Amino acid sequence: MDNSPGSKQNPGVIEVAAGIVFREGRVLIARRRPQDHLGGLWEFPGGKRQPGESYEACLHRELREELDIEVQVGERIANITHDYPEKSVHLEFFLCRWVRHEPRAVGCSDFAWVRREELANYAFPAADAQLLARLTADASLWPA
């Protein structure tokens, strides 16, 4: 059981785990399927946490389902709650290291490995703005 802040299930808020997955100086981003909420926008891959599931376990499961990859989940670097007109989301972001399997667009429409200076070229949901600014500004978050 995850006892960290935000770990208690809140029925009015969708809880999401997202991975900042690094490999060779690039971060992995995924494009939301057109039929999904905020379809066509890019995001840090992950997904909805199931009842009783830790954020870390959710992230392992979602990255297998969405991109067919395995990662090592590291430090939680941000948690953000954002209210969209139609729903509220609570996102927990974790630094991750790619371990095995080349990504495949299984539960997303596309993916890309991008450098820090390339992040501004992709449209992300409003909930990711704060983390994007931090990733763009802070080179120390990026592994050498």
Residue 17 CB burial class (10 angstroms; 0-12, 13-18, ≥19): buried
Q: Which amino acid is present at 84?
A: Y
pLDDT, average across residues 70-95: 91
Cα angle 99, 16, 43 (rounded to 5 degrees) comes to 65
pLDDT confidence tier of residue 43, bands split at 50, 70 and 90: very high
User: Residues 6 or more apart from 115 whose CB is under 8 A from it?
Assistant: 25, 26
Give the whole-number percent of the chain exceeding pLDDT 70.
92
Strand 42-43 with 46-48, pairing: unpaired
pLDDT in tens, 62-73: 999 999 999 999
Which fold is adopted by the domain 14-138? Answer: Nucleoside Triphosphate Pyrophosphohydrolase (3.90.79)
pLDDT, average across residues 42-59: 95
pLDDT in tens, 2-29: 334 444 555 689 999 999 999 999 999 9
Report whether 141 contacts 95 (CB < 8 A). Answer: yes
